[in-house]
Amino acid sequence: MEYSKMGGKNARDMIKDKRVTVIGYLRSAVDIANECANVNGTEKPCTMVVRTKSWIIPDYYAWGVHISNFYLTRFAELLIHKPGEGFLLNMLATVLTPLRLIISKFVESYYSIAMRKHDMVPDHSFFEGLVACVAAIAPKDHYKNLEEGSIVLKKSKTFSFCEEGVHVEGECTPIKSDIVIFGTGFKGDQKIKDIFTSEYFQSIAVGSTSMTVPLYR
């Protein structure tokens, strides 16, 4: 948020010719990393510290079919378990589980092609990622920047600071960093729950992690 409040020109001036490390791998983190890559190129590549692999997709088409046909229809709503759902909706979502898996595998078979080159195919299904709002559209040149090396990925569950920059798991030498930007997001579910004092309303508003749905639903 601090980065975006600076405005485009001031932000670009700040990262120009700097070794930037971005923590996180979702919308904000990927957007900022690609801005850094476009400014500094391969001379001073941007490093992304990735804890959890996410579905960062290049566009809305899988094998030529717009994914809204699979996920953003009234029928698609029946495939998802919802907080506070009744018996009938629960049974429908359960019975339609095989169809949900088939759709997810079809979409994943396309989007995982680019991700597999960088060992970034998520452990969870695309359907789960979309329902839980942990899938995102990549900036235009994201995978091109990964290929040419202007963005470098470091997979690590933890990190720590040192004089030279950032230490990550499995690396003997630190990631030399002039600037570290946190693109780790926030827990929106918790913010929604905190609106209510009733435990019942808290459970209905959010539900379990397996039933997470975007607020607009």
**pLDDT at residue number 217:** 46
Low-confidence ranges of the chain (pLDDT < 50): 214, 216-217
Residue spans of alpha helices (H) in the chain: 2-5, 8-15, 27-40, 68-71, 74-77, 87-95, 97-116, 126-131, 142-148, 188-193, 199-206
Query: How large is the angle between the packed helices 97-116 and 87-95, nearest 10 degrees?
Result: 50
Q: How do residues 147-202 score in pLDDT, each as one tens digit?
A: 999 999 999 999 999 999 999 998 899 999 999 999 987 666 777 788 888 888 88
Which residues lie closer than 8 Å to 43 by C-beta, 6 or more apart? none
Calpha distance 82→20 (Å, rounded): 40
Q: Provide CATH 3.50.50.60 ranges for the chain.
A: 1-54+134-185
Q: How do residues 189-208 score in pLDDT, each as one tens digit?
A: 777 788 888 888 887 776 66
Calpha distance 191→102 (Å, rounded): 34
Question: Hey, is 214 helix, strand or coil?
Answer: coil
Class of domain 1-54+134-185: alpha beta
